[in-house]
Amino acid sequence: MTLKESLERVDALRAGVKTVFDEAGPDMDMTKVTCLEGDTKGKVEKLQAKMAELDEAKSEYDSLAKLDADRKRVGGWGTTLGKEESPQKEDETKPELKSLGEAFMASKAGSERKGAEVFVPGIDLKTTMQASAGFDPFADRIPRIVDYAMRPLVVTDFIPKYTTGRDTIKYMKVTTRTNSAAEASEGGNYGEAALAATEYSDEVEKISVWLPITDEQLEDVEGLGGWVNAQLMRMVLERLDSQVLQGDGTSPNLWGAANIASVQTQAKGSDPTPDAFHKAITAVRVTGRAEPNVIFMHPNDWQSVRLLRTADGIYIFGSPQEAGVPRLWGVPVAATSACTENTGLVGDWAGYSGLFIKRGLSFKVTDSHASLFIAGTQAIRCDMRCAMVYLRDEAFCTVTGI
C-alpha cells in the first residue's frame, strides 16, 4: 500500500468512527447510534473493532511516513557530502549585486535621465497584471462546512419510545365506566357498575427521503458519503419531529396531538397568555385525568411570554441577565418551530402517548433507478417506519390565539 493509499484508508476509518461517536454523544449513549446494527453490546463490540482497525491503519501510515521522511532527508545530502569549501582569498572581492533599477540608473542611459521621468523607449504598457486579470492566488478552503440553518429536534425527546414488530398498533381503551359504588344498608341491594372496552388501532407509517449523487462526487470528495447520510437522516427526523405534533392521521401521515379526535381546546381570548395555559393545564387535569409533562409552543410565542413585565417594568419571568428556566406553572416549556405559531400544546405525553418504531433509520444505495446506471449516478435513500399513538385524547389540549 502506498503512502497516499494508507492516508486515505486512515481518513476513511476515522470518518466512520467519528460518525459513531457523534451519534452516541458525550454520554456515549449507544442506543442513539444508528450507523451500527445490533443491540448496545453488539454496537460497542463493533466500535471496538473499528478502533482496532483504525489503530492498525494509523501505525502502518506512521511507518510509511517515517520512511518518506528518511527519503527526503537522504536526498538533501546531495553530492557535496564530505567535501569542504575552499577558503576565499583575501584579495578576492565579491561583485556588487544591483537591482535592475539600480543597474539602469548607473548606465549611460540612466545617468542622462536623472531628474527626468524615467521610461524605457520601445516598450508599450499593456494591461496591468493583477488578480482580476492575471494570476489569482491559490486559496485553500478551511475544512469546516457551514450547514444549512436547521431547527433543533426537541419534540421526540419528551415522548416515550417503543419497538414493535407489527404493522398496526392495536390497544384496548375503556369507553364505558359507570361507578355505582354507594353505601348500602343491611339487606339492601348493591349498586351495579358497568365496564366496556373498545379496540383501537394506529397504522405504522413510513417517513422517507432520497438523493441522487454522481459516482465522481462520492469518489473524489473524501467523507462525502457519511456527510450525505447524516443530512438525509436529519431530514427524516425533522419530519418526524413535526408529524408527532401536526400530523393529521390520514395515511401515510402520523397522528399529531393537535389533530387527534377528542383533543381539548382552550382559546386565549382576552386572558394573558400564562392564564390561558393554566386553564389548559386544568382541563388536562380535570377532564383528561392526567398530569401535563410539557408545553410546546413556537419560539415567537414563548418570547412574548418571556418578555412580560409588570406595570413598573420588572420582568415577570426573570432578569434579562439570567437565562431563566422555561416553565409555565411548573410545567417545562419546549420552544420549537415544529409547533404552529399562535397555537400551543399542553399534554401528558409521558403517560398517554408513545412512538412505536418498527424500523429505525436505514439507508440503501442503488444505481438501478431509471437512467441512473448509464448516467453514473447513485441513489441514496433513507427511511424509517413508525406509528404515533395517543392513548387518551383528553390528556392533551391546544391553546389558540396566543
Whether residue 128 has pLDDT greater than 80:
no
Tell me the average pLDDT of the chain. Answer: 87
The confidence band for 115, taking pLDDT boundaries of 50, 70 and 90, is low
Asked if 282 and 329 count as a contact pair (C-beta separation under 8 A), the reply is no
Upper half-sphere CA count for residue 180 (Cβ side, 13 Å): 10
Residues 6+ apart with CB under 8 A from 51: 17
Q: What is the pLDDT of residue 383?
A: 96
- Residue-level pLDDT at 74: 77
**Higher pLDDT among residues 244 and 8, named by residue:** 244
Res. 27 pLDDT band, cuts 50 70 90: confident
Answer with the residue of higher pLDDT: 54 or 246.
246
pLDDT of residue 151: 86
Q: Is residue 230 within 8 Å of residue 208, measured between CB atoms?
A: no
Higher per-residue pLDDT: 14 or 280: 280
pLDDT for the residue 77: 66
Sign (positive or negative) of CA dihedral 21, 26, 29, 34: negative
Predicted local confidence at residue 312, as pLDDT: 93
pLDDT above 80: residue 118: no
Q: What's the angle, vertex CA 251, arms to CA 346 and CA 229, rounded to 5?
A: 85
Burial, 60: exposed, middle or buried (Cβ in 10 Å; 0-12, 13-18, 19+)?
middle
When pLDDT is cut at 50, 70 and 90, the band that residue 101 belongs to is low
At 84, is the pLDDT very low, low, confident or very high (cuts 50, 70, 90)? Answer: low
Report the percentage of the chain scoring pLDDT > 90: 56
Alpha-carbon distance of 310 to 298, in angstroms, equals 23
Any idea where the domains of the chain sit in the sequence? 3-63, 155-167+204-400
Round to whole Å and give the CA distance between 239 and 245.
10
Mean per-residue pLDDT for 5-23?
A: 88
- Give the pLDDT band of residue 110 (cuts 50, 70, 90): low
Q: How confident is the model at residue 64 (pLDDT cuts 50, 70, 90)?
A: confident
* 397, 349 Cβ separation under 8 angstroms: no
Residue pair 193/179 in contact by the 8 Å Cβ criterion? yes
Under 8 Å between Cβ of 260 and 249:
yes
Largest Cα–Cα distance in the chain?
142
pLDDT for residue 269: 95
Query: What does the pLDDT read at residue 161?
Result: 96
User: Which of 99-103, 105-109, 113-117, 222-226 has the least mean pLDDT?
Assistant: 113-117
Assigned CATH class of 155-167+204-400? alpha beta
pLDDT at 137: 74
